[in-house]
Amino acid sequence: MDVLSQLQRQLADFLASLYREGFVDDQFTQLQKLQDESSPDFVMEVVSLFFEDCEKLVNNMAKVLEQQVVDFKQVDSHVHQLKGSSSSIGAARIRNVCIAFKTFCEAQNREGCLRCLQQVNHEHAQLKANLQSLFTLERQIVAAGGSVPAMQ
Amino acid sequence: MTLVLRFQIRLSYGRATFAPRTSSEQPRSIPQFRGLRVILADDDALNRTVTKKLLEKLGCEVTAVSSGFECLSALSSAENSVRLVVLDIQMPEMDGFEVATRIRKVRSRSWPLIIAVTASAEDNVWERCLQMGMNGMIRKPVLLQGMADELQRVLQRVGEGL
């Protein structure tokens, strides 16, 4: 198998594993479908926006949660935003943590919230690493003369 | 309650009557979105980027703004050339409902068309949208097919004079 075919096979397998392990879902496929010649870096741009957003929200939530008196409404509104954006890009695991997170906010459970925040951080780091690998593979394919079609 | 029922009946009526009229009319599968001028209002940068791209993929010409205020001012400076406003309901300062109300104060119910985008799973959101003068509604996360279907439905209803 030549280098290009090997890379393409690697990409397909890697992507399949991301779906299988729930890192991404159909909404991510949607994003890939939106990428085209007029915006070849669309997915990467949107994903970067998401990670920036996520970091900001996590920092804000951490600050609120370390107060003497926690404003759970504020935490909840940040979680709501994170849930929305993770949902928009198909970051399924993060979205799922947000669902649990919201319940803890409603129950005004600080410990539960802190645990969820930790989980969000963890998932954020994992997803970032995974998507970076994905983009690297795609770049290698393009460099080897191949093209990256919209994945089904 | 009555309003919702009436709408639902109209919805199925609309779909049922379109099918037989195939000989002289456009085939149902061709979307009439090419060049459709749209204003998209969403305060979230990520959602705005994704929805804008989605609409452009469907052929629309999109102006994206980040608040209700910007939406109203973009609309007034564009005069009558904007066919559709896609509006996130949950925006700070001025929400989608208020934007729609203000638009309908000075514009007819079918120009521009207004489609609401909501994260809410509540049943009465649609009723509220209708009351505020909106023509359609789509739930987040927004999908290409979902948007295409709702756009088509809304444009069709206008075409049938409903």
Which residues of chain A does B140 touch, with a Cβ-Cβ cutoff of 8 Å?
Answer: 84, 87-88
CB contact under 8 A, B140 and A84: yes
Distance CA A19, CA A46 (A): 18
Closest in A31, A53, A81 to B50, CB measured: A31
Residue B19: predicted pLDDT: 37
Residue A152 with chain B: CB contacts under 8 Å = none
Residue A151 has pLDDT above 60, yes or no: no
Contact B140/A87, CB-based, under 8 Å? yes
Closest CA to A74 of A97, A108, A41, A42: A108
The answer to whether residue A146 scores a pLDDT higher than 70 is yes
Q: Which two tokens stand for residue A76?
A: 């909840």
Q: Could you tell me which residue, A65 or A149, shows the higher pLDDT?
A: A65
Mutate to test the interface with B, among A43, A44, A80, A88 (most CBs of B within 10 A): A88
Instruction: Supply angle C-alpha B127, B129, B131, rounded to 5.
Output: 70
CB atoms within 10 A of CB A132: 12
Is there a contact between B140 and A36 if contact means CB atoms under 8 Å apart?
no
Dump the DSSP string for B10-26.
HHHHHHHHHTTTTSSSP
pLDDT in tens, B75-103: 999 878 999 999 999 888 899 999 999 99
pLDDT higher at B8 or B126: B126
CB A46 within 8 A of CB B50: yes
Instruction: Dump pLDDT digits (tens) for B33-54.
Output: 889 999 999 999 999 999 999 9
Report residue A41's pLDDT band, with 50, 70 and 90 as the boundaries: very high
Compute the count of residue pairs across chains A and B with CB atoms less than 8 Å apart.
Answer: 44
Residue B21's pLDDT is 38
* Average pLDDT estimate for B138-146: 90
* Binary contact (B141, A87; C-beta < 8 A): yes
Percent of chain B beyond pLDDT 70? 78
Exposed / middle / buried, residue B134 (Cβ in 10 Å: 0-12, 13-18, 19+): buried
pLDDT of B17 > 70? The answer is no
- Average pLDDT of chain B? 81
| pLDDT tens string A42-94 | 999 999 999 999 999 999 999 999 999 999 999 999 999 999 999 999 999 99
pLDDT score at A150: 43
Burial of A27 (0-12, 13-18, 19+ CB in 10 A): buried
Q: In this predicted structure, what is the pLDDT of residue B108?
A: 87
**Contact residues, chain A, for B49 at CB < 8 Å:** 45-46, 49
Query: What gap in Å lies between CA A129 and CA A123, rounded to an integer?
Result: 10
Assess B119–A contact: CB distance below 8 Å, yes or no. Answer: yes
Answer whether A34 touches B (CB < 8 Å).
yes
- Please tell me which of the candidates A30, A87, A89 has its beta carbon nearest to residue B144: A30
Looking from the CA of A83 toward its CB, the CA atoms found within 13 Å total 18
**B24 pLDDT higher than 80:** no
Measured between beta carbons, which residues in chain B are less than 8 angstroms from residue A31? 50
Top-confidence residue, B106 or A113:
A113
pLDDT at B29: 35
pLDDT of B137 higher than 60 = yes
B68 neighbors B95 (Cβ within 8 angstroms):
yes
Query: So what's the pLDDT on residue B18?
Result: 37
CB proximity A53 to B under 8 Å = yes
Task: Return phi, psi of residue A56, to 5°.
Answer: -60, -50
Query: Are B46 and A46 a contacting pair at CB < 8 A?
Result: yes
The pLDDT of residue B162 is above 60: no
Mean pLDDT of A9-22: 96
pLDDT of residue A51: 97
